Structure 1
């Protein structure tokens, strides 16, 4: 286990600027509403910001203000943030991101969770926070071991927390992070103080998992239509990444503008931004996202995460109900991608908290950090 400092070589940045300057833009028309995907006019302005105003070295310094480390876990290089809590009895908490996210999406919750007194909270609510980069994402690279998927990552996180000296711990996550956290609560329930998620789905979702329509109350029925619309219009990326991930990787590892469009289009569509992505993420934050994939060359292995999960489906560790036995909290984000019926959730999880949030989407910790922090504090307050 070694301290880690982000230090991108100058030649990487020089090459990046050359590639951005040489972008060969496609012709785009009748696409002001993004119905065809990435709006080229918008991305031309964002790339201009990237070249002319974005300061990677300043952003690098911001990232390096977090205590970061790398270690080997079961033969894999894992990068993570580890910030100790300031309080009498901090709870160890591992926060797991998804795709297209990075560890940096949790930056706004780390301070309030670890030092609540400095952010208007009660020091009794402190956490020791661990934020790993998923295998093959960002600085958890290079990944050259096939077969690493989300449910195997849960086992890696148990090993990582063992290295850090934590016996029992808590977990939180969205997107892949929800599945990793739920798997911890399924397979390793005895190790878990509790699990907090905001993208709830059956753990076999990539293959056979689905919700029973009969579980939806009349008031919940519109959620079925929303999820059906998402499945119809928004899952092309998943079909590609779970079958032929290296085909788009050839292009996206070569074109930073292409990578930016691939990632940011999802930020716009999946966040609670009403079609204006900069309501939720400023230009520098959007480019941070692309930079953390670009400078690590990690798009290909991040996309393979889908392939590995699809071709090695989840297998239950037990057949008891609830499937997730650890105490579970679900934050219901109004613009999240999945909206299970509460009846199903109460059967599937050891559900102890169900919070309807007033705002927020798929990138909850980055969009509504205050809401996520307060929900975590409230859920774990009686579990110390």
Structure 2
């Protein structure tokens, strides 16, 4: 029997918003380091301006209203309240689609793809979207015991879809941790998953010598990018997988400190940097970490997955899989590298976009998702 689903709208007290603005205005700013912009971390000029907008111009209330229009519910699964947002097409032939975000994102990443997925153009399938915050993220429940790595999260989301929401068969899509969780879920519950769409097909996949063997010029350039990311861009993951509590003290106390940590990733991992996003998109995503004080609990997915022996590499040999490759992605891919890990039925190289694909290029992302599921029999 399904558990009772409780309405779970977001209501941020005005006092919390006032405190946020005051903290932003009282930020103790460091001196800029003698390095080129973004080379040594977040550019202070850019950060100060965005924090000024956050304090003086940003209005949370319209975004809160939009989120509450997505029928948010709390569903207890395995002792944790999943905070679930939904968008229905109203069509009887719609495909239930589990759409999962990653770090440092939130379901706010999906704002611009919801409409084209639930109300598509002619010839594309319609979807009934289920968009949960990953346990420990956003305004949802925070695990209070160890063990919430990728495997346990994947099991919880499968229970949400099948047992709690009644979708015996459903699609799965996501990038970043959503891709890792989705691949593990598809591996564990292939009989329930119609298809798996990933825009980060090589996250967690170990490089093999075969990638360099016979590599053409394009692949050699991608391997050089991969080497550069390994050398200069993955320290954040090492820190969050070993000492997340220490860093989170500062991020929970300082909104500017939180913004510096997260915005650096949006700059580094996107096609065009922060210019690919509006200030409202960036700040609404930050609110998912600041208001519910979830920066520490969200980082725990790195810590727990380091301890989960099945937490990162998940070949998906049975479920039809689509790989959407965006050119500025942090783990660049080619079909030759991707294909051994999946039952790959669609591989698409998109002309622009990066790690936050649904937010950067919503039209391209939604079209690729729709075309993939349109080609699958159910």
Q: Same fold (TM over 0.5)?
A: yes
2:144 aligned partner: 144
Q: Which runs of 5+ in 2 are unaligned?
A: none
The alpha-carbon deviation at position 123 of structure 1 amounts to: 6.9
Q: Find the residue that maps to 1:108 and give its secondary structure.
A: coil
1:295 aligns with 2:291: yes
1:16 aligns with 2:20: yes
2:99 aligned partner: 95
1:241 aligned partner: 240
CA distance in 2, matches of 1:137, 1:261: 18
CA distance in 1, matches of 2:345, 2:116: 23
Which of 204, 208, 211 aligns to 2:208? It is 211
Please show how residues 26-175 of structure 1 align to structure 2 within 5 Å. Answer: 26-116=30-120, 121-122=121-122, 125-162=125-162, 163-175=164-176
The alpha-carbon deviation at position 315 of structure 1 amounts to: 6.7
The alpha-carbon deviation at position 324 of structure 1 amounts to: 3.5
Residues 108/316 of structure 1: CA separation in 2 closer, same or farther (3 Å cut) = closer
Q: Find the residue that maps to 1:190 and give its secondary structure.
A: coil
Please show how residues 233-382 of structure 1 align to structure 2 within 5 Å. Answer: 233-273=232-272, 275=273, 277=274, 279-314=275-310, 323-382=316-375
Q: Find the residue that maps to 1:165 and give its secondary structure.
A: coil
Native 8 Å contact 2:150 2:308 kept in 1: no
Q: Find the residue that maps to 2:228 and give its secondary structure.
A: helix
Native 8 Å contact 1:151 1:179 kept in 2: no
The alpha-carbon deviation at position 340 of structure 1 amounts to: 3.3
Once the two structures are overlaid, the 10-residue window that deviates more, 146-155 or 232-241, is 146-155
The alignment's C-alpha RMSD in Å is 1.9
1:191 aligned partner: 192
Once the two structures are overlaid, the 10-residue window that deviates more, 257-266 or 336-345, is 336-345
Native 8 Å contact 1:215 1:341 kept in 2: no
Native 8 Å contact 2:212 2:220 kept in 1: no
Native 8 Å contact 1:186 1:317 kept in 2: no
Native 8 Å contact 1:114 1:129 kept in 2: yes
CA distance in 1, matches of 2:324, 2:228: 22
CA distance in 2, matches of 1:15, 1:315: 38
Q: Find the residue that maps to 1:253 and give its secondary structure.
A: helix
The alpha-carbon deviation at position 317 of structure 1 amounts to: 11
Once the two structures are overlaid, the 10-residue window that deviates more, 24-33 or 95-104, is 24-33
Residues 215/127 of structure 1: CA separation in 2 closer, same or farther (3 Å cut) = farther
Aligned structure 1 segments of 4 or more residues deviating by more than 6 angstroms: 315-318
Once the two structures are overlaid, the 10-residue window that deviates more, 12-21 or 161-170, is 12-21
Native 8 Å contact 1:109 1:365 kept in 2: yes
Q: Find the residue that maps to 1:94 and give its secondary structure.
A: strand
CA distance in 1, matches of 2:180, 2:74: 23
CA deviation digits over 1:159-202, x for unaligned, max 9? 00021000011100000011111112211111110000011126
Native 8 Å contact 1:69 1:81 kept in 2: yes
Q: Which runs of 5+ in 1 are unaligned?
A: none
CA distance in 1, matches of 2:229, 2:313: 30
